Structure 1
């Protein structure tokens, strides 16, 4: 089976690797693999978020991916380090409304069998000394984060080690069972996976309505650096009805995010976005002002028409789709890759993936 994957972000790369493990010959086509949303993402792997409330199907998919992550990473690390940490996530409340949010979050986690430990102000200060005084917290000791830049590098290493090909071009059009590239070359396929994020629906040559529009949602993310690391573990700071996530790396990097902007295909880093994140992080981490400014990035999250992932076969024979993961691409990578590998070799996909096919839009 000759599989072509149009798009080399974390979803496309993971799908390629899992398909290879099932015996497929794989070609990934992307002008700059893992340089868009995957490159900018903080990689937080929390026990849940507000997107899951009231979304039964998405919740099942999310929890299945959470369960898969340790084994997914263990297999991948036979090829290269994956940047995975499972040393806890702290949700810290900085006002009374946030304390109520913690009550809701704790009840939600416990309903899913996810461990959660409620912390008082002193316990929060002991666990995360760099924080401003918090009113309370919720520790999820079995969760953590992954560095998407390390993860995607490991996936590229695995793909190439298994004989796969990564072509640094862009798929512009589909012509029968061939992908037409931006330089005019064609790459034949038995099956094709469209995984180009918010550019997926711009690939031409498919019947109208076969691929739903994947809209771009801009997010700006700040990277600071210190030595030693300022924070001990991944955290979300809750205040004034919003959540600021802070993801430390072992090398001293601190990833802070993120803004949420409906701005089309604008990837501009703005002064307003930078100021907003710097102000918010200084409120909860007073020492952040002394950290070295490393990067400010913007990326385009891929949002489907119903803001849910699009995973599985389209109405076009032998053309599949893996896109539209919105703010949960990294979290849903293992389960998406497993489902897509099953679709591609004609085995039964997991039941929790079935509600997310592109066919729901036709």
Structure 2
């Protein structure tokens, strides 16, 4: 993978990773595999935003003109996912992938025009998306609502089971020699390793002041199939309903429905309004969704940045940050792991250049 050499270098080979979501676990695993002595600190591994996620890997169908850097980073990570996932599946003995394509649908004329815009722009960036008419959408996914006007098929976009991913990453990290320490870190000064990586999500600014990361609440539903119900779609289904983004992500035992988005501080309560909107939007996409068992409602706090790009970079000679992935933490896991390990070893991954935290003036080195 291409890397650009930078001046900083070190013989240091011990590192503390602070934060045990998918980002922290993947970095710890890859670093340990590269010969680093790794300690990972988290009082409750995998219980944050990584636990409450749909698992979509959809940088292409979410692309939009002017967001070239977001598309480039997401595409670089999507390209890494097949190999990354296969390594985890082999190491942990699980099946991670739940979908091998995604279909975004339009329910009105304005949304249909947006899909055409996305297809044209993404195509100009060298990636292919297919426009499907109403009949083609129905032939592909007959359980979708008759109000669908147009579809956008991304054959390269995948989806994974986020909870099995956390399980696999933890297993592979431990097998690689990572020491898991069930403690919270309130100050980086207490850590005794040569290097530190901050992957603490919304708690990252408390560890490195100035990081522009804020919590954004998201609610999801997990539905379980029942005997005789309409089968789940064979791929991830996305759409916009009354201006709200909605998605259905298949799982081995049902469907994940998401997701609301609120600027509500550290609130993780699931609201009646949130559940109502998610069910209504899911029914607009797939009318038979009401046949399923409502197994779980949950909410998490996504660590968002002002420009929707994560923060991946060195902020001091000892500290690297890898945080602020927002709603794309699962998607960006492989490229973030590669970029962070490269930084630890004195180089920089070209594909992650746009995520350098120095783009924000308040992030002091």
Do both proteins adopt the same fold according to a TM-score greater than 0.5, normalized to the shorter chain?
A: yes
Contact 2:241–2:281 at 8 Å: present in 1 too?
no
Matched, 1:261 2:265: no
Equivalent position SS for 1:149: helix
Partner of 1:132: 145
Matched, 1:68 2:69: no
Partner of 2:69: 57
Quickly say closer, same or farther: Cα 1:305–1:212, change in 2 above 3 A: farther
Matches within 5 A, 1:112-123: 112-123=125-136
Partner of 1:304: 305
Deviation string, structure 1 residues 318-339 (Cα, Å, up to 9, x no partner):
1110001111111111111100
Where do 5+ consecutive residues of structure 2 fail to align?
1-12
Please, which of 192, 195, 204 is the counterpart of residue 200 of structure 1? 204
Matched, 1:14 2:26: yes
Deviation at 1:156, TM superposition (A): 0.4
**TM-score normalised per structure 1:** 0.90
Partner of 2:328: 328
Equivalent position SS for 2:313: strand
Contact 1:98–1:241 at 8 Å: present in 2 too?
no
Deviation at 1:213, TM superposition (A): 3.6
Report the more deviating stretch, 45-54 or 285-294.
Answer: 45-54
Aligned counterparts of 1:108 and 1:154: Cα–Cα separation in 2: 36
Quickly say closer, same or farther: Cα 1:334–1:23, change in 2 above 3 A: same
- Superposed CA RMSD: 1.7
How many residue pairs align between the two structures?
Answer: 344
Partner of 1:360: 359
Matches within 5 A, 1:92-111: 92-111=105-124
Matches within 5 A, 1:175-190: 175=189, 178-179=190-191, 188-190=192-194
Partner of 1:212: 211
Quickly say closer, same or farther: Cα 1:269–1:242, change in 2 above 3 A: closer
Contact 2:116–2:131 at 8 Å: present in 1 too?
no
Contact 2:43–2:182 at 8 Å: present in 1 too?
yes
Deviation string, structure 1 residues 94-129 (Cα, Å, up to 9, x no partner):
111111111012112322333322222222112112
Contact 1:86–1:142 at 8 Å: present in 2 too?
no
Aligned counterparts of 2:35 and 2:224: Cα–Cα separation in 1: 42
Contact 1:130–1:285 at 8 Å: present in 2 too?
yes
Contact 1:97–1:241 at 8 Å: present in 2 too?
no
Partner of 2:175: 161
Equivalent position SS for 1:327: helix
Partner of 1:248: 250
Equivalent position SS for 1:157: helix
Equivalent position SS for 2:232: coil
Partner of 2:350: 351
Quickly say closer, same or farther: Cα 1:287–1:45, change in 2 above 3 A: same
Contact 1:282–1:288 at 8 Å: present in 2 too?
yes
Partner of 1:342: 342
Deviation string, structure 1 residues 58-109 (Cα, Å, up to 9, x no partner):
2221111111111111222221225124521111111111111110121123
Deviation string, structure 1 residues 279-330 (Cα, Å, up to 9, x no partner):
111222111111100111100000124432100111x321110001111111
Partner of 1:182: none
Deviation string, structure 1 residues 1-26 (Cα, Å, up to 9, x no partner):
11110000011111111111211111
Equivalent position SS for 2:326: coil
Contact 1:26–1:164 at 8 Å: present in 2 too?
yes
Equivalent position SS for 1:28: strand
Deviation at 1:242, TM superposition (A): 3.5
Report the more deviating stretch, 259-268 or 96-105.
Answer: 96-105
Contact 1:97–1:240 at 8 Å: present in 2 too?
no
Quickly say closer, same or farther: Cα 1:146–1:190, change in 2 above 3 A: same
